[in-house]
């Protein structure tokens, strides 16, 4: 099904009509609308999960958990709206004695307006119609139009219908959540003058194409794309020696989780030469089982990605897992740090699926030379022991990722106030996060009011409201006075 141009115009017009109502909504109303959407998703899980499993083959257990994550995101943003610090309320009082004299200034963040959201294939709930981009945009006070992913169209339609109905039943305006289908409709959506920002999770090529459309508009808009990530891991010799088996088990479990279709999969792992870690991993991989990939396009691309890596003269196949039918077979490849430093454009290309590349290094200098070629990633992981000199290694990892782990593995992204899910290009097109409370910042813009009468200020910037909200006055943070 493809959305026609006439249908697109009607959907956009409805979102435009809803935008001022969302922007003017109270924190209590907006939070209630988000919670109503969350409750509706949870109530519809028995209907939605079988549809999702039929279209994505991700399995009931995984999908039910993802429904819970999705409704949890909506509830998190309801709490963010009620707490109020996301508004960044700031006041500088007038001061006639300052040089030069200072007028009164009051500043806050306001919603940008209708937002386009492009669904991802690998999270049919949490990064799709009612996922994090949608939740954070609605929380900011912006209606959302979602471009459905072709990998789960029936699920997208049904989810959109359920959530839109729940929003309206809770008092939100018609047009709060719309849905379009088809590549042409998606391209037209991101170029439509009513749309003021876009969120995207997907391939580097697809995201770059949309990014270019968004920035080449007569009125360019921000495009928040999560595109590609190899998520480097560094294991020190001490760590490999003290807990090599544990780390090998964690790595194999992480890169095969979800048939390797997580954007935080550890794709490149730097391991000390001669420490025996490769043998530990190689012994575990044959017991792993692959499976079907999400779409025909991903299925076709996986062997091509493996072939491109294996064609490099430095690369060897360490071990393969098993697979039934035409699914993806888990595989671990090996190379060395010198080869990575020489040919990063080949060896550090993201390959979506159950594959990881082990990179041997013989010295800190060799490791650091290779790390300097690693592209921007969503995450970076450092497994070291007390006493290891890892200052330079850590600095290199911090420069290349938005989240740095010191325990565990990156395939697990907590939806919290402090989470950062975004990193330097090509991981994302911006420095903002797409997961966690501060994801709301993407869909807000600042406005300052100078010498404004109280009656003409936005309600939250007036003195009586400021007393109950987190804000900064004359550079000093002010705690709110809560009333019961």
Give the catalytic positions in this structure: 226, 263
d(CA 192, CA 177): 16
């Amino acid at each position: 099904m493809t959305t026609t141009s006439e249908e697109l115009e009607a959907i956009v017009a409805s979102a435009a009509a809803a935008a001022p109502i969302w922007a003017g909504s109270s924190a209590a109303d907006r939070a209630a609308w988000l919670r109503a959407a969350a409750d509706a998703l949870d109530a519809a899980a028995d209907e939605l999960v079988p549809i999702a499993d039929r279209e994505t083959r991700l399995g009931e257990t995984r999908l039910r958990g993802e429904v819970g994550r999705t409704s949890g995101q909506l509830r998190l943003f309801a709490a963010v709206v009620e707490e109020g610090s996301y508004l960044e309320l700031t006041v500088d009082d007038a001061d006639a004695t300052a040089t030069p004299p200072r007028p009164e200034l009051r500043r806050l963040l306001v919603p940008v307006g209708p937002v386009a959201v492009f669904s991802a294939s690998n999270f049919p709930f949490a990064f799709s119609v009612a996922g994090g981009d949608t939740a954070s945009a609605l929380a900011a006070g912006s209606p959302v139009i979602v471009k459905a992913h072709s990998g789960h169209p029936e699920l997208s339609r049904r989810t959109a219908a359920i959530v839109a109905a729940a929003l309206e039943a809770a008092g939100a305006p018609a047009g709060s959540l719309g849905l379009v289908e088809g590549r042409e409709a998606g391209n037209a959506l991101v170029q439509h003058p009513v749309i003021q920002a876009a969120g995207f999770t997907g391939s580097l090529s697809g995201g770059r194409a949309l990014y270019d459309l968004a920035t080449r508009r007569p009125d360019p808009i921000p495009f928040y794309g999560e595109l590609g990530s190899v998520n480097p891991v560094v294991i020190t010799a001490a760590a490999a020696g003290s807990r090599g088996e544990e780390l090998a088990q964690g790595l194999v479990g992480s890169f095969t989780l979800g048939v390797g279709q997580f954007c935080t999969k550890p794709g490149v792992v730097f391991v000390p030469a001669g420490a025996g870690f490769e043998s530990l991993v190689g012994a575990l991989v044959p017991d792993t089982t692959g499976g079907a990939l999400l779409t025909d396009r991903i299925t076709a691309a996986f062997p091509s990605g493996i072939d491109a890596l294996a064609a490099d003269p430095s690369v060897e196949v360490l071990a393969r897992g098993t697979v039934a039918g035409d699914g993806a077979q888990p595989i671990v490849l090996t190379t060395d740090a010198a080869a990575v430093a020489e040919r990063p454009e080949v060896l550090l290309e993201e390959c979506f699926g159950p594959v990881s590349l082990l990179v041997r290094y013989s010295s800190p200098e060799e490791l650091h030379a290779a790390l300097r070629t690693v592209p921007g990633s969503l995450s970076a992981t450092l497994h070291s022991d007390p006493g290891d000199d890892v200052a330079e290694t850590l600095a290199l990892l911090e420069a290349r990722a938005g989240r740095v782990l010191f325990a565990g593995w990156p395939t697990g992204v907590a939806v919290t106030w402090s989470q950062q899910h975004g990193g330097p290009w090509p991981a994302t097109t911006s420095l903002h996060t797409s997961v966690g409370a501060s994801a709301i910042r993407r869909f807000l813009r600042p406005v300052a009011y100078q010498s404004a009468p109280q009656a003409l200020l936005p309600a939250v910037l007036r003195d009586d409201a400021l007393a109950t909200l987190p804000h900064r006055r004359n550079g000093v943070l002010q705690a709110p006075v809560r009333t019961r």
